[in-house]
Amino acid sequence: MTHQIPHAAEFPVRSRRQFLEAGAAIGLGASLLSHASWAADSSPVKGGTLVANVLPEPAGLVAGINISQPAVVISASIFDGLVRYDKDFKPQPQLAESWSESKDGKTITFKLRRGVKWHDGHPFTSADVQYSLLEVVKKVHPRGSSTFGRVTAVETPDEHTVVLRLDGPSVVLWSALFGTETQIVPKHLYAGTNVMANPWNTKPVGTGAFVFKEWVRGSHVVLERNPNYWDSGKPLLDRVVFKFIPDAGARAAALESGELHYAVTNPVPESDVERLRRNPALVVDTKGWEAPAPMFFIDFNMQRPQFQDVRIRRAFAHALDRKALADNIWYGLAKPAEGPVPSYQKQFFKPGLPQYAFDPAQAEKLFDEAGLKRGADGVRLRINHMVSPYGPVYQRAAEYTRQALGKVGVELTLVNFDLPTWIRKMYTDYDFDTAQGWYSAYPDPQIGVERRYWSQNIRKGSVSSNAARYSSTEMDRIIQGIHDEADVNKRRELIGQMQQLAQVDVPSINLLELNFYAIYSKRLQGLREGPLRFYSTLADAWLAPPAA
């Protein structure tokens, strides 16, 4: 079967005003009534186009190389992983049909699914897994060198068997085998190339449920149904169109009008969430982010002389009111962070860490003690502050930060970039004084948290790594211990030490635990359940027809 791909002009991005005008013309009340009458049919429906939104436009579409959130959301439907996870975060077969682990934990054997093909028709084999783990995940992925640090060799005794040799048991590896974290790329398109600059990063070839069709810059990405998908009968949708809609008002209007079915990454301002929650045609879903576990923070550029004095970094921390940020900027869709690990991850979270209460007087005292006195104009320090490009809430947070620090004599110039430029400035050029950002802590701190504090993660060009360039012999010793320790209790104790030192040294200010939300049409059914819901493939998704 062939599909006609609509031209870019058929995926218009209307302004909020245009949506409101259209709503007035047809009668908004009637439109909502029609939405409300949609009934969830228990029988999946094949066919149709899902119109989705990601924000902002990513720099690439291979999440194993470019790990920005929009790339992850799109990439999840293009690439399958060795395993997927169920709602209890237990591994289930995907590209690997089965696996076994030796008693000493030093050998893991995967039996790969037979008959799987890459989207260009090449067979998927163990050589693809070997190449991806050794040449991409371990060398390029910002978390891969840690997650797979104990893997010393990857053997391929035949085309459908992969044997991992480890120098010791690895607890963390079993939490990182899903498709967007440990991504398997086609060796025949990547071997011998510069992986980071490979042109297939923007026109990916995967093994997943949907095939990349086109990327119109500034407009959208189109994926089409993979007719040769190994999971017979899936996917159910013919096509997924991921739009880039830069205006938050237009995104909200598109959801309300039904023009947009699926928007997963905080698509509307936090102030609009309660209003949309009352819309009978929409689902506001705050579940499905438990595994990514987003955390908001401010990085110091530790190579700048002024930030090499810990008193100055602590003064910054005292100048910021986390509760005001959570309540007034995030409208309660966040809570103050007590450290780098979210508090609800109770198996690793360490209570009683050093905290920096909102105390401007203490901030001024620390600045003065560090020799950073106010000048005649009242300013003690002028710096730039790079704003996260992930939406207006981060702009408002940056404006709050500027105001709060201005009151203690620090003048911030806010700097805004698009996502690709922001990534380059943060992780390649290190061209910032302070920068705000968020990251996924993930279920095990070895996957998501330690990368901000491990000196070996100061890797130029590696996204979401140690941008602060924080380097501590003591921290490195603790992190190496986390990698090496097989005893669960001793490893947990080391993870606690890491959190303690991170709060004492403050190379980053841990500000908030974010409560992400997705908004989608009630017509949309079949989203995968579990803590990685929005980082999962849309292979099972389908659209119920509107009632007549």
The terminus-to-terminus CA distance of the chain in angstroms comes to 28
Question: In 109-156, which ranges are continuous DSSP H helix?
Answer: 126-131, 144-147
For each successive 10 residues of the chain (548 residues), what is the average pLDDT? 34 39 35 41 88 92 89 96 92 97 96 98 98 95 87 98 95 91 96 95 98 97 98 97 93 94 92 93 92 94 96 98 97 96 92 98 98 97 96 94 98 95 93 94 90 91 88 97 90 97 98 96 95 94 85
State the DSSP H helix or E strand holding residue 426, giving kind and residue range, or none if neither: helix 419-427
402 alpha-carbon distance from chain centroid: 26
pLDDT at 17: 42
Query: Which residues face 153 on adjacent strands?
Result: 165
Q: Residue 72 — φ and ψ, nearest 5°?
A: -65, -45
Residues 6+ apart with CB under 8 A from 311: 366, 367, 369, 370
Which of 186, 197, 242 has its CA nearest to residue 219? 242
Query: How many alpha carbons fall within 13 Å on the CB side of residue 355?
Result: 12
pLDDT at 248: 87
Which of 76, 52, 75 has its CA nearest to residue 220? 52
Which of 432, 368, 377, 426 has its CA nearest to residue 406? 377
Distances (CA, A) of 164 to 75, 422, 527: 25, 36, 32
Query: What is the rounded distance in angstroms from the CA atom of residue 430 to the CA atom of residue 423?
Result: 9
The burial of 386, by beta-carbon neighbours within 10 Å (0-12 exposed, 13-18 middle, 19 or more buried), is given as buried
Distances (CA, A) of 143 to 13, 246, 456, 493: 35, 29, 11, 21
DSSP 326: I
Q: Are 183 and 132 in contact (CB under 8 A)?
A: yes
Token pair 């909200």: residue: 252
pLDDT at 69: 87
Query: How many alpha carbons fall within 13 Å on the CB side of residue 277?
Result: 9
Residues 6+ apart with CB under 8 A from 201: 60, 61, 62, 65, 66
Task: Tell me how crowded residue 272 is: count the other CB atoms within 10 A of its CB.
Answer: 18
The burial of 168, by beta-carbon neighbours within 10 Å (0-12 exposed, 13-18 middle, 19 or more buried), is given as middle
- 102-130 in b/e form (b: 16+ CB < 10 A) is eeeebebbbbbbeebebbeeeebbbbbbb
Tokens found for residue 371: 């020799």
3-state secondary structure (DSSP) of residue 385: strand
60-64-65-71 Cα dihedral, nearest 10 degrees? 20
